[in-house]
Amino acid sequence: MPKAAAAKPKQARNIKYMLVRYSRMNTLGFFEHHETRIPKVLTRVVLKTDKGLELGQLVGQLTAYKAGQFKLNSDQIKKYFDDSDIDLSVDQAGKFVRYATADDISEERHLQKLAEEEMEYCRRFIKELGLPMKIVDAEHIFGGERVIFYFMSDGRVDFRELVKKIAQEYQTRIEMRQIGSRDEAKILGDIETCGQQCCCQRFLKLLKPVNMRMAKMQKATLDPSKISGYCGRLKCCLRYEDKTYTELKKRLPKKNTKVKTKYGEGKVVDTQILTQLVMVEVKDGQKVAVGLEELEVISSPAPTKKKSADAAPDAKDAQDSTPKNNEQDAREDEKGSQKQNSAGTPEQ
């Protein structure tokens, strides 16, 4: 028994995996393969997933592979993606079938055109049936096993009749997936105000909460039109530097703190987080900017009732500047991904 138990990890180490980005939602996953060498150029691959045959794009082919094996172990990979706010399962997502050929790429283009026709057909039936839903996109699986329609709606929709009509027309399995505004941005998002492709479309998969406190701390404009992204929510990039800003702010003395500087004693009237400068008002009323390392804290300000009352707006800001958006996000999380197959049975 001990020898048999020791043999299992050895077998697991012999399995080779490649990291691939696939599906319309740009999902990252590991796929088992038996190739001895990994191309160091942009490479498309054909995969076998639980949906059927799909096309994907190889990730990390320049430096992440050695003798066909992905270098990082599962713990290192999980830590990297957790720190990067990217959602990735270290479990096997499927199997590598082959490197994509010119015929495969041509077939993919054909299926994309077909998906556009299928969307128009679906929209026509939605209008006829009077269903309260908006079709965002359609994905025709490469192997032809199914067609997935992504839609938005304020609530749950009974689309069994719609699924039956589409299934009769295309003679394949039909799947309907309900998504929220952030998922819509993943699919349809383009270039953002920074000049780069939307983060959620390019690499960001784990969408953590963003609030107005982050914008205020970073001295960003509070104009909703300038700090909101394609999805209408606060931009996810506001969260990227929040940890650094929070740590730097903790190092600075609070307002009204008594400090000692080379200009004499005074009190703190303002601070600058990034430059770590402290604005001090000395006894003669003059205001001077002093580096954090150049001052000495004499005493911290005593807490007052007014200060405790002022904490309420901050708590409110910590929730979000747009409560309606929060409520909608909660509804979207609760709805999840509403599905229904061609048999007409809704799934949660």
Amino acid at site 210: V
Task: Evaluate whether residue 51 is within a structural domain.
Answer: yes
Which is more confidently placed, 343 or 94?
94
DSSP states of 278-341 as a string?
A: EEEEETTS-EEEEEGGG-EEEEPPPP-HHHHHHHHHHHHHHH-S-HHHHHHHHHHHHH---EE-
Same domain assignment for residues 20 and 96: yes
Extract the tokens encoding 70.
């992905």
| Residue whose C-alpha is closest to residue 43's, from 22, 27, 73 | 22
Same domain assignment for residues 74 and 28: yes
pLDDT above 90: percentage of residues in the chain:
29
Same domain assignment for residues 128 and 88: no
Domain of residue 22: give its range. 15-100
Task: Evaluate whether residue 206 is within a structural domain.
Answer: no
Same domain assignment for residues 118 and 168: yes
Which is more confidently placed, 91 or 297?
297
Same domain assignment for residues 71 and 88: yes
What tens digit of pLDDT does each residue of 106-124 get?
Answer: 999 999 999 999 999 999 9
Same domain assignment for residues 124 and 172: yes
Q: pLDDT value at position 90?
A: 60
For residue 47, count other CB atoms closer than 10 A to its CB.
Answer: 26
Same domain assignment for residues 33 and 89: yes
Torsion sign, CA atoms 319, 321, 323, 325: negative
Q: pLDDT value at position 80?
A: 66
| Residue whose C-alpha is closest to residue 181's, from 303, 39, 331 | 331
Q: How confident is the model at residue 151 (pLDDT cuts 50, 70, 90)?
A: very high
Angstrom distance (rounded) from CA 81 to CA 101: 30
Task: Evaluate whether residue 315 is within a structural domain.
Answer: no
What tens digit of pLDDT does each residue of 304-326 get?
Answer: 654 444 444 443 443 444 434 44
Q: How confident is the model at residue 152 (pLDDT cuts 50, 70, 90)?
A: very high
Q: How confident is the model at residue 64 (pLDDT cuts 50, 70, 90)?
A: confident
Amino acid at site 74: S
Same domain assignment for residues 41 and 113: no
Crossing angle of the two packed helices 102-129 and 160-170, in degrees rounded to 10: 140
Last residue of a domain, one of 100, 133, 160: 100
Angstrom distance (rounded) from CA 251 to CA 172: 61
Average pLDDT over all residues of the chain: 79
Q: pLDDT value at position 303?
A: 66
Task: Evaluate whether residue 86 is within a structural domain.
Answer: yes
CATH code where residue 263 lies: 2.30.30.140
Q: pLDDT value at position 65?
A: 79
What tens digit of pLDDT does each residue of 168-186 get?
Answer: 988 889 999 998 888 888 8
Task: Evaluate whether residue 313 is within a structural domain.
Answer: no
Task: Evaluate whether residue 217 is within a structural domain.
Answer: no
Given a contact cutoff of 8 angstroms between Cβ atoms, the answer to whether 111 and 55 are in contact is no
Same domain assignment for residues 109 and 162: yes
Task: Evaluate whether residue 218 is within a structural domain.
Answer: no
Q: Which helix (H) or strand (E) holds 202?
A: helix 199-202
Q: pLDDT value at position 209?
A: 81
Backbone angles phi, psi at 225, to 5 degrees: -70, -20
Q: Look at the chain and report how many structural domains it folds into.
A: 3
Same domain assignment for residues 152 and 91: no
Same domain assignment for residues 343 and 276: no
Quick check: 156 pLDDT over 70?
yes
Same domain assignment for residues 145 and 81: no
Q: pLDDT value at position 9?
A: 36
Task: Evaluate whether residue 325 is within a structural domain.
Answer: no
Which is more confidently placed, 200 or 334?
200
| Residue whose C-alpha is closest to residue 173's, from 149, 151, 147 | 147
Q: pLDDT value at position 30?
A: 85
Q: How confident is the model at residue 202 (pLDDT cuts 50, 70, 90)?
A: confident
Which is more confidently placed, 244 or 144?
244
Amino acid at site 218: Q
Angstrom distance (rounded) from CA 42 to CA 31: 17
48-57, 89-98, 265-274: the lowest-pLDDT one: 89-98
